[in-house]
């Protein structure tokens, strides 16, 4: 009897671990409900210059595991794909101490997951005070 209980307990632990691993495979963007997003929610002004904001934007897109399609650093554009939809992140100057980031869908259809924009903004806010480092 003890042997049967031990086997059942082992099977439950094994299957429980397999279920946890299967949950980690899902894309987090697919878990957020698609909805209409206001244009004003896609624009944010940060208290940093546009060069630092450009680096933070590329890092935020990469950290969220979105696919970067194209970077034009001179004009401040990043074209990326998130959850099967293309977006354009454009960085511009407001003044010498402030930069503005605008993330808009390429097809001008604002029916997408709001977490795409919110997660990028949140990453930038968290890492706003980090200094840029040159890696040789």
Q: Which domains does the chain possess?
A: 29-126 (3.30.310.170)
Nearest C-alpha neighbor of 56 from the set 40, 39, 73, 70: 73
Does residue 90 come out as left (phi exceeding 0), alpha (psi in the -120 to 50 range) or beta? beta
CA distances from 30 to 66, 82, 84 (A): 13, 10, 10
**Tokens at residue 72, please?**
């034009």
**90: β partners:** 77, 102
Tokens standing for residue 15: 């299957």
pLDDT for residue 29 is more than 90: no
Which of 5-9, 24-28, 61-65, 78-82 is the least confident region? 24-28
Burial class of residue 84, CB neighbours in 10 A (0-12, 13-18, 19+): exposed
**Residues of the chain above pLDDT 90, percent:** 63
Give the H/E segment covering residue 55: helix 50-63
- Mean pLDDT value of segment 55-80: 94
Computed over every residue of the chain, the mean pLDDT equals 83
pLDDT for res 34: 80
pTM: 0.73
């Amino acid at each position: 009897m003890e042997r049967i209980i031990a086997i059942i307990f082992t099977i439950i632990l094994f299957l429980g671990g397999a279920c946890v691993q299967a949950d980690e495979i899902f894309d987090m963007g697919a878990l957020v409900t698609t909805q209409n997003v206001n244009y004003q929610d896609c624009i944010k002004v940060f208290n940093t210059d546009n060069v630092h904001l450009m680096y933070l934007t590329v890092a935020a897109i990469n950290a969220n595991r979105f696919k970067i399609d194209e970077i034009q650093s001179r004009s401040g554009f990043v074209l990326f794909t998130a959850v099967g939809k293309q977006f354009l992140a454009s960085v511009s100057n407001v003044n010498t101490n402030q930069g503005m980031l605008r993330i808009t869908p390429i097809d001008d259809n604002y029916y997408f997951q709001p977490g795409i924009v919110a997660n990028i903004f949140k990453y930038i806010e968290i890492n706003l005070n980090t200094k840029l480092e040159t890696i040789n």
